[in-house]
Structure 1
Amino acid sequence: MSETFVEKYASFLHQHHMNHSSIPDSDFEKSIIDKSHAYAVQNALFEKLQRHNHAIPIGWKVGCTSKMTQQMSSTDEPFFGRMFKKTTFSQVDTINLSGFFNPILEPEVGFLMVEDLPPNAAPFSEQDILKATGGLIPAVEIVDCRYSSGWPLKILRTIADNGVHGAFIKGTLRNDWQHIERAAITLKVELNGHFETDGLGANALGDPIQSVRWLANTCIKYGLNIKAGDFISAGNIANKAVFIKEGDDVSIDFSSLGKLDIRFT
């Protein structure tokens, strides 16, 4: 794939971000044949968002970490994208959805990293990730499909548009995280006072720490790396997709990790 093509496709996506318009089907997508192409477009889009939109990165999201989400995207492995300061919210109880297109709420285990994971230390083990972790967070990622064709999305289109990241909502940081059994975290989601879905920490690659390990090692392949201060949203642990709209109230109980209550306006 030529640099010219990558630049043109990234410019096409960026223009729709700038105009706040849905992304139509295009011939660009036919030329993306593997993930290396998709990540090249994602990185070029990221650079444009930084340069023209003053987007400040605060960390990473990992997607397709559960069988349910992999089936939705017709893939058998995860993907990553960036998260930004402007669309990251801390312990809020209200989120405005007017700027979203087709939002889905994903309950996730968040990580705060306190050490760099540099290329010269790769490949990383689970112990390396544990050592670099400073805390766990009950969190929500809102993924948002900008493509006019809507959900479900194939994986390469998802990767190209920054992993369809919409927002990251953080609960209370748990500094006493070491005793929490991440894989055993049980999830209960209520939508407008009614049970919507359950879930389990193990839905994220068996243990959310494995999502972070996957991210750390995969980033190196693309000339990137996790740094101290990064937040990581480690993948959806719910058993089904939770579609949200303006006026919805959502209560998310992560058992030993904490709880989030959010109203969408």
Structure 2
Amino acid sequence: MTNRVTEALWKARTDGGLVAVEDSEWPVDEAAAYAMQEQVTALFDAEIVGWKLGATNEKTLALLGVERPFVGPLLSIHFHAMDEALPVYPEHGPALETEFLVALAADLPPRDEPYTDEDVANAVDYVGPAFEVVGCRCAAGFQKSGLMLLADGAVNVAVIEGTAGTGWRDADLSDHRLRVELNGAEAATGSSNLLMWGNPFGAVAYLANHPRVAQRGLRKGDRIMTGTCGGLLPLASGDTAAADFGVLGSVRMSVA
């Protein structure tokens, strides 16, 4: 069952605009926020093909005013090709995150025993580069929306998956470096160790153990966006971005 806010969040993501939320309409806890997220997701009538994590370091947790990393589904309609100019709504404050994408070769089904990094490593198909564009459809903005960020699709706008290299099994994923360019100039550098778990597999294990995926589990073919390792870079119309992940590959995108 949807309500005014969940329908408004869906419409804002689809058509633009911002959603003003009354005090009585805010989720009272994480469970309520994720229930709203499920309602918004259902309105898209699109396949879940992966998941994302957000607020994956202490700095971002403090900035957004949330207690722990949050998660959200990634829908097929929100994956975009590198050569496609991505349309964005400026009022959503679109920003670029540079992330390690983990694709699964095997299911990680629901179970009582918590998943470990090693369990994840044994289920991985490949690790590659990706951009996530994030945006906030709430009128309160990123820093004042709190739990509403969870309801708002975990602030996902789009995912652009890059060309994966073949060397992920030999890479040191506890400290794998990346470099990001915006409009042809270096804008950020980063490392996989910026994730609070110290590596992308720890992020996937956190997701696999999360109550939000307790019924579905993670499935073969799912693509997991593990959290930004290249900061949060504001985007505007006409911007271009590229990131070099060394042996793990590269990714590029442009904004319409």
Which residue number in structure 2 is paired with residue 37 of structure 1?
32
Distance 1:221 1:138, change over 3 A: closer
Note if contact 2:130-2:161 (Cα within 8 Å) is conserved in structure 1. Answer: yes
How far 1:218 moved relative to its partner?
A: 0.4
Which residue number in structure 1 is paired with residue 18 of structure 2?
22
User: What is the identity percentage for the equivalent residue pairs of Structure 1 and Structure 2?
Assistant: 27
Query: Which range moves more in the overlay, 220-229 or 109-118?
Result: 220-229
Query: Which range moves more in the overlay, 228-237 or 14-23?
Result: 14-23
Counterpart mapping for 1:146-165 below 5 A: 146-165=137-156
> What letter corresponds to residue 169 of structure 2 in structure 1?
Q
C-alpha separation in 2, matches of 1:201 and 1:102: 25
Which residue number in structure 1 is paired with residue 119 of structure 2?
128
TM-score using structure 1 length: 0.87
Q: Which runs of 5+ in 1 are unaligned?
A: none
C-alpha separation in 2, matches of 1:153 and 1:193: 32
> What letter corresponds to residue 116 of structure 1 in structure 2?
D
C-alpha separation in 2, matches of 1:246 and 1:256: 30
The one of 215, 221, 228 equivalent to 1:236 is 228
Tell me whether 1:107 sits opposite 2:98 in the alignment: yes
C-alpha separation in 2, matches of 1:68 and 1:253: 24
How far 1:37 moved relative to its partner?
A: 1.0
SS in 2 for 1:246: coil
- How many equivalent residue pairs? 254
Which residue number in structure 2 is paired with residue 182 of structure 1?
173
Tell me whether 1:201 sits opposite 2:196 in the alignment: no
C-alpha separation in 1, matches of 2:189 and 2:202: 21
C-alpha separation in 1, matches of 2:210 and 2:188: 30
SS in 2 for 1:146: coil
C-alpha separation in 2, matches of 1:247 and 1:84: 25
How far 1:194 moved relative to its partner?
A: 2.3
Tell me whether 1:10 sits opposite 2:6 in the alignment: yes
Q: Which runs of 5+ in 2 are unaligned?
A: none
Which residue number in structure 1 is paired with residue 243 of structure 2?
252
> What letter corresponds to residue 17 of structure 2 in structure 1?
S
Note if contact 2:108-2:217 (Cα within 8 Å) is conserved in structure 1. Answer: yes
The one of 127, 135, 144 equivalent to 1:144 is 135
How far 1:105 moved relative to its partner?
A: 0.4
> What letter corresponds to residue 245 of structure 2 in structure 1?
F
How far 1:201 moved relative to its partner?
A: 0.6
Please list every run of at least 4 consecutive aligned residues from structure 1 whose deviation after the TM superposition is greater than 6 angstroms: none
> What letter corresponds to residue 127 of structure 1 in structure 2?
E
Query: Which range moves more in the overlay, 135-144 or 15-24?
Result: 15-24
SS in 1 for 2:137: coil
How far 1:229 moved relative to its partner?
A: 0.9
C-alpha separation in 2, matches of 1:244 and 1:153: 20
Which residue number in structure 1 is paired with residue 44 of structure 2?
49
C-alpha separation in 1, matches of 2:164 and 2:178: 17
How far 1:130 moved relative to its partner?
A: 0.7
Query: Which range moves more in the overlay, 222-231 or 36-45?
Result: 222-231
What's the CA shift string for 1:42-87, capped at 9, x where partnerless? 112112222xxxx222110111112232222123421101111112
> What letter corresponds to residue 117 of structure 2 in structure 1?
E
Query: Which range moves more in the overlay, 127-136 or 115-124?
Result: 115-124
SS in 2 for 1:256: helix
